[in-house]
Amino acid sequence: MTGPTLAGTREELSALLAPARAAGLPVGLVPTMGALHAGHASLMRAARAAVGDGPVVTSVFVNPLQFGAGEDLDRYPRTLDADLAVCAAEGVDIVFAPSVDEVYPSGTATPGVTVEPGPLGTVLEGAVRPGHFRGVLTVVAKLFGLKDFQQFALISRMVADLCLDVEVLGADTVREPDGLALSSRNRFLDAEQRRQALVLSRALRATQAAAHDGRDAALAAGRAVLATEPAVEVDYLVVTEIDLDELPAEVPPGTPGRVLVAARLGATRLIDNLPLVIGGER
């Protein structure tokens, strides 16, 4: 099996992509922080399907700008050799694994021009992790000009607002057979925390099922499930419109929305979400 070509600098990446760009081929990018799992692999397959004969690039970069004080930057897993094996198995052409100095030549304390996420970047994850989405959008913009639905929504808005010649594609969350969303942070859970973490997907499904009776009934159902695992510290459980705007208590039956949850198990923080429909027939 031929593995992907590894690039560590912008110049190397640009040289590797030059033939495709000269031929007018699309380029697929799967931006990651490494510690790759089956969820990332599904995105690589989606990128291949989208670009056809064009190259697929996977970036592996633990972005310090999106970690706040006290978060797990130093603890975040770095597994480049294993990541390269995943990329090889999925037919990725190029892995871009830059250093921090390559991405932020002036340093992360004064990173220069950053992308401000606007109001959507200050709620939910943005409220719990101030500055997180500034870091996410800045590094994505630097790289190339759906477990984390808020991140997907913000990147889509950035691409539209900045008129970037980029198509942002979403994909369904990949889950374990028992419903736990795949995450690079799952490896930090011990056996008991792994069991407790299942309450997140159960709460999402309960919220989704009760949404036929309205927003408040849906939230009550989800919160009741979360309360069955008191060791799980819930940051939020919310029901929003599909674009993550605040959802009023009264909406027309059949209104599409999203339920999002974030919680902590010890030092590990997990997020998840599902679509739902408010009101209408069961």
Mind telling me the catalytic residues?
Answer: 40
**Contact residues for 125 (Cβ-Cβ < 8 A; gap 6+):** 132, 133, 148, 150, 151, 262, 271
**Contact residues for 175 (Cβ-Cβ < 8 A; gap 6+):** 181, 182, 201
CB neighbours of residue 53 within 10 Å: 9
List strands edge to edge, sheet with 255-265: 233-241, 255-265, 268-278
- Residue 246 is classified by DSSP as B
Which secondary-structure segment (H or E) carries 192?
helix 191-210
Phi, psi of 276 (to 5 degrees): -155, 170
Tokens 């974030």 belong to: 262
On whether the CB atoms of residues 152 and 260 are closer than 8 A, the answer is no
| Residues β-bridged to residue 255 | 278
Calpha distance 155→30 (Å, rounded): 13
